[in-house]
Structure 1
């Protein structure tokens, strides 16, 4: 049986080796994808002793074949005069540069995510298309455009870790469609990035992903319905992932260089530490949201802070914090509905729940908000 995890892990390294031998990034990525297809066919019966060396040799041959067939690139035929002998592959690791390249500022977020999954994650176009619920041809065009955009970017140019982290977080939040679990894939890629960098924020993002992923089994009902955090069965949370996430976070915080992902992970850790929803340390969560707002001045962070303030100091204080925010902010109506209900105003809450449902970003959230509105309206009708 072919070890697909191994193939995906080796992909960025092999692309980097071809790049150092003279292949453009686009040509190297195409050749490696062809080699991966060949590996799936051949390794099933006879896996090689040196998988990386095998991939390098086959990918280089695929690249040379493409160069020979491309008459418009005859000036590069010097590369085909002498093919390197098969043997142990170089040990230089270009994975980090691939992360930077795939998260290049010239790419849209959607293109950066797709290119990261293809080049660094080693996923096929079909797998990425399934994960995003789009036709394979559509995803192929998206990836092709992204590759053209970065084709002239030098492979040794420095990149921005913060941009890479945002792309990986987008991957993590995409969901679980198709035959590839994007959340698990994002965790895998972030682990690899953490092993190659000395960054507290990379560790912070890894901790955040682990802590959120630990709650996944309790997040939905058997019918697919959304279960709010306060109502989740905490016995179903993955304590192993929680423990790992807390350990990773504590090691990052000990270095005293706080960043936004560390702050978010600290909030997630406080939720994970509470044995029941009632035991949640909302006062400390508000303090961490204050840090997050100081670091990012993000409207989303301010929105979530209003919820935490409502829990720590009462719904009226939470509504006061919410009043300073733009009502057009995503999920603003849902937060306002929750705080108004807690403040004893079911009429306003029902109206806002219905409004929030109409603009919900996905079907499970829309159904949940619709049910909340229906519940309050039923209660209001039953009142004398």
Structure 2
């Protein structure tokens, strides 16, 4: 990506936010911004103006007004008077936040909110988003068009809540790296922008959680693309700078004394990042944080993860008793039971459950990993 392309990618969503704030409907504003960006590519060459953001705002707004006037000539003066911006400098900071919350409008489905956030706030092309989600470009274009029509119909009366914005950003992060776009990196970039403009500790908690997870990324996969679980990862490959940044952000968030779900998750991730090995992990503190997380966000998934920590603190049989209280329909239920049975020495049941879990795996990498675990125990059981 050239410097000019990077600049336009950064400024485009901010300009779009300005136009939406001034009253332009979402679809028309995006058309105007795209025209302004095209004009910038044609006229800036390698030397942008001294104030490229202001140039883009002025150009996009002019193109939007031209479109409004040409579409409703008989109402030219009325519309122009209504749409003229208030005097004063344009920063784009508040407008970018407005755009982020608007893209997570409660009238949108989660998948539509993710797509619109990447398109409008992230500045990605429809083709890039489609490839990242492994769907045809036409399908993604329809999804984004429907989302924009919904926004135009619903307006600015009820933008998305902070909670919905954070969950959409975390969903984008968990998409990882597929296609030509690294969605995890994109989610971190957007969350950094939100954190820079927000004093809410949960925003910082989500950013810390992303950074702590991201620090382990290079160690998560083996040379042949196989999944490497946390207890087998080469911790020397973890990004210590990201760990340190994530821990500092988390500490600052916790100091505000308004604990939330993402802060609790980040605290658990920080304890794992602080340990030199699985055996040296402070499992007692991990369990305490899971208890706190269960209080803040009671869910079967949290209860299942808590059972793993309980198994480390009080032994695998205690963990199995806790798992028995979690519905078997919860993802990874069989895999957790297999792990605890193996730790308890019941290799036959562990091998059976690993095989069951592999058939219900959410990805090929997870399926292959569980299959290897089942095969390893099968080989041990066959030894004389």
TM-score, scaled relative to structure 1? 0.92
Higher mean C-alpha displacement, 241-250 vs 179-188: 179-188
Distance of aligned partners of 1:90 and 1:304 in 2 relative to their CA distance in 1, 3 Å threshold = same
Deviations 1:358-384 (A, max 9, x none): 111111111111111111112222x23
1:334 match: 335
Q: Which secondary structure state, in structure 1, belongs to the residue aligned with residue 227 of structure 2?
A: coil
Q: Which residue of 1 aligns with 2:232?
A: 231
Task: Give the equivalent residue in structure 2 for 1:90.
Answer: 90
Deviation of 1:276 (Å): 1.6
Map of 2:257 onto structure 1: 256
Is the CA contact (8 Å cut-off) linking 1:2 and 1:40 kept in structure 2? no
* Deviation of the 1:48 alpha carbon: 2.4
CA distance in 2, matches of 1:40, 1:285: 52
Aligned to 1:360: 361
Post-superposition shift, 1:341?
1.1
Is 214-223 or 156-165 further displaced after alignment? 156-165
In structure 1, the residue matched to 2:55 is 54
Q: Does 1:45 align with 2:46?
A: yes
Please report how far the alpha carbon of residue 20 of structure 1 lies from its aligned counterpart in structure 2 after TM superposition.
4.0
Deviation at 1:131, TM superposition (A): 1.3
Q: Taking structure 1 as reference, are residues 50 and 88 closer, same or farther at Cα in structure 2, changes over 3 Å only?
A: farther
Using the alignment, how far apart are the partners of 2:224 and 2:333 within structure 1? Answer: 27
Determine whether 1:285 maps to 2:286: yes
Q: Number of residue pairs matched?
A: 380
SS in 2 for 1:328: coil
Residue 106 in structure 1 maps to residue 107 in structure 2: yes
* Cα 1:338/1:20, change in 2 over 3 Å: closer
* 8 Å contact kept, 1:260–1:296: yes
- In structure 2, the CA distance between the partners of 1:276 and 1:37, relative to structure 1 (3 Å rule), is farther
1:40 to 1:256, Cα distance in 2 relative to 1, 3 A: same
1:272-316 alpha-carbon deviations (Å, 9 max, x no partner): 000122111111100000000000111111110011111121111
Whole-Å separation in 1 of the counterparts to 2:172 and 2:252: 24
Q: Where do residues 237-276 of structure 1 align in structure 2 (5 Å cutoff)? A: 237-276=238-277
Change (3 A) 1:230 1:23: same
Alpha carbons 2:293, 2:302 under 8 Å: kept = yes
- Which segments of 5 or more consecutive residues in structure 1 lack a partner in the other structure? none
In structure 1, the residue matched to 2:305 is: 304
CA distance in 2: counterparts of 1:40 and 1:362, whole angstroms: 41
Task: Tell me if structure 2 keeps the 8 A contact 1:350–1:373.
Answer: yes
Report the Cα offset of residue 12 of structure 1. Answer: 3.0
In 2, distance between residues paired with 1:15 and 1:347? Answer: 59
Instruction: Output the TM-score relative to the length of structure 2.
Output: 0.92
Q: Give the Cα separation in 2 of the matches to 1:83 and 1:298.
A: 47
Q: Does 1:191 align with 2:202?
A: no
Deviations 1:149-198 (A, max 9, x none): 11133336454111100000000000101222111111110111011111
The corresponding residue for 1:127 is 128
Cα gap change, 1:231 to 1:3, in 2 (>3 Å)? farther
Cα separation, partners in 2 of 1:110 and 1:37, compared to 1, 3 Å:
farther
Match of 1:378 in 2: 379
Can you list the C-alpha shifts for 1:334-355, whole angstroms capped at 9, x where unaligned?
1111111111112111111111
Question: Are 1:68 and 1:77, in contact at CA under 8 Å, matched by a contact in 2?
Answer: yes
Q: What is the CA-CA distance between 1:69 and the residue it aligns to?
A: 5.7
In structure 2, relative to structure 1, the CA distance for the partners of 1:144 and 1:284 (3 Å cut) is same
Cα distance 1:39–1:181, how it changes in 2: closer, same or farther (>3 A)? farther
The alpha-carbon deviation at position 74 of structure 1 amounts to: 5.0
Provide the C-alpha distance between the structure 2 equivalents of 1:56 and 1:110, rounded to a whole number of angstroms.
29
